[in-house]
Amino acid sequence: MNKKKSMQANVKVTLKTFDLKILKDGQVSLVSENLNGGGDIKLTYDESISMYIAKSVPKGSYTLTASAESYMTESRRVFVDSEELMVTFIPEEEGMPFYYRGRVRVPFKPTGLIGVALNRIPFDGDEREHKEKEQVETVRSLAIELGLTEFIETPEAIKQEKVRIFEMKPDLDDADHETILERLSGHRAVRNAGLVIKLDKHATSILTRQLIVRFKSQVSPSQIRAIVEQNKLNNIRRIPYAGKNVWLLEAKDEQASYRILEKSIELAKLDNVEYVEPNFIMTAVDLQAVPTDYLYLEQWHIPLVNLPQAWEELRDRTTLDGITPGNSGDLTYGGENVVIAVLDRGIQSNHPDFNGTVTSGDTKYHNSLTFIIWL
């Protein structure tokens, strides 16, 4: 019985759009590549986990295919060799540009924006503030000269990361992008200039001229050098913490435009390459919802059940409803109208966790009851 169970696994697939909306009406299937076949295995959507699932799948090689109405069909080779295989598909609309994150194709809508990351100023105090203002003005002047306009909706959190966003004219082509980016990148105040792939109210992702390439384990250093030279790349350094044969490469000719994505897609097709992904400049986001409870760090079980992610989701929904986190009606950590009954062999009613009040002002601890069971 145990032997049979060990030869099977559960396969779970997430199917979502580029803006992270779950596609519930898709079609997901596995086709065995094993010699003895096995036929198609259709995955069914499970509402409780927002994933498509197939249970007790025999281990081996499969072609996993996902499709949804109005989206392109995508197939991927997978190997079921553990107790559970989890895969994500982000289907794209016809003609939509995309890039790779590992082996996952990530489609996106062009923003028409350029992100400029500025160099750090090696001064302190008032002198630093003066130099930073001067730096921003010189880059802004160059951008205007190149026909760009500053994106007035740039979030303050992004500006604090020394990044400025500019809007391009809609009729520009790839060659125009290359020219503008080359001029901006050559400015002494600019660390990187690239097309913006993603921008939201908290952060942005900006292309660079760099690619992260994972070569297959058997590929030798001489083969890697040959691929690097043939594709007009510079070898920056190895990335040992990302796994064996992972390298950071930089384009010699292309700027941080869609051409660097085209180069990454071509590289990903090579037999010796496992995956290729752009090395973005991404501004930092500090959005983690952390309770003020001083005993929080002692609650080892909380990360195991993904509670911080749930709190962040609730906090975001609360904000959308116009409620300020921490005020009455804030659902980040629950609601003041929710009553919890705890059944245990003993309750320490004076425990510090029961001190204080909920957001409505009511005490956390209401009452305790003792039940006697007669046998």
pLDDT in tens, 57-86: 988 889 999 999 888 898 988 888 877 888
Contact 112, 167 (CB under 8 A): yes
Q: Spell 303-335 as b/e; 16+ CB within 10 A means b.
A: eeeeeeeebeebbeebeeeebeeeeeebbbbee
pLDDT number for residue 344: 65
8-state DSSP, 234: E
Where do you find CATH 2.60.40.1120 in the chain?
A: 2-92
Where do you find CATH 3.30.70.80 in the chain?
A: 97-285
CATH topology of domain 97-285: Alpha-Beta Plaits (3.30.70)
The rounded distance, in Å, linking the Cα atoms of 66 and 83 is 21
Question: Is the pTM for the entire model greater than 0.85?
Answer: no
The answer to whether residue 354 scores a pLDDT higher than 70 is no
The answer to whether residue 3 scores a pLDDT higher than 50 is no
The answer to whether residue 332 scores a pLDDT higher than 70 is no
- What mean pLDDT is predicted for residues 25-30? 94
The answer to whether residue 290 scores a pLDDT higher than 70 is no
Question: Dmax over Cα atoms in the chain, in whole Å?
Answer: 88
pLDDT number for residue 219: 94
- What mean pLDDT is predicted for residues 321-337? 63
More confident of the two residues 346 and 302 = 302
The rounded distance, in Å, linking the Cα atoms of 192 and 163 is 9
CATH code for the domain defined by 2-92: 2.60.40.1120
Query: Could you tell me where the DSSP H helices lie in the chain?
Result: 2-6, 125-145, 156-159, 174-185, 221-230, 258-268, 301-304, 307-320
Q: Taking Cα atoms as reference points, which of 3, 6, 9 lies closest to residue 79?
A: 9
pLDDT in tens, 174-192: 999 999 999 999 999 999 9
